[in-house]
Amino acid sequence: MKLLPGIILLILCCFGSLKAQNTEEGNAVVIGDQRIDSLLQLHIDINEKFPVFQGYRIQILMVSGNDALEVTDEAKTEFIEEYPDIPVYLTFGEPNYRVRVGDFRTRLEAEKFLEQISRKYPGAWVTQDNINFPVLSKYKKQQL
């Protein structure tokens, strides 16, 4: 019971100090370490320089050989004609050329699109990859 007045006094002091930090109605002054701002700016700079993160793509073709570049380029062009809104990526990992499509944030999104193209590309599969940040439409930006 002797602690009760001390606890009440401590609570009143805390509330008083919180009220003292409020400079104007609805405004507060935040005092922080300058290093936090520099770390935040570093994070922003890195994301602008390397705008990728872990996600999924669908690999529709992987070939090697003397005519592999022509075959993959033809497949890329054909896919773009069929699905102009889906990004297509041609990559080389010795000895194979690969055609991967999409920038899917989840495996579920990739699997759903794979179902749509599975008749045209029966050998396609979902693979984990570094993907580009999705482009936000004007409508989505206004909601944020």
- pLDDT, tens digit only, all 144 positions of the chain: 555 555 665 565 555 555 545 455 677 777 778 888 888 888 888 878 877 789 999 999 999 999 999 999 999 999 999 999 999 999 998 899 999 999 999 999 999 999 999 999 999 999 999 998 766 666 554 544
Question: In CATH, which superfamily holds the domain spanning 54-131?
Answer: Sporulation related repeat (3.30.70.1070)
User: What one-character DSSP code corresponds to residue 104?
Assistant: E
Question: 36 in helix, strand or coil?
Answer: helix
In one letter, which amino acid is 66? N
Contact criterion met (CB below 8 Å) for 86 and 60 = no
Q: What is the DSSP letter of 137?
A: P
Q: pLDDT at position 51, please?
A: 74
Domain boundaries, the chain: 54-131
pLDDT at residue number 20: 47
> Tell me, what amino acid is at 136?
L
The string of pLDDT tens digits covering residues 52-79 is 789 999 999 999 999 999 999 999 999 9
d(CA 83, CA 12): 65
Nearest C-alpha neighbor of 80 from the set 72, 68, 69: 72
Task: Find the DSSP H helices in the chain.
Answer: 3-21, 34-49, 68-82, 107-117, 138-143
What are phi and psi for residue 15, nearest 5 degrees?
-65, -35
Name the DSSP class of 33.
-
CB 80 within 8 A of CB 120: no
Which residues partner with 84 through β-bridges?
A: none
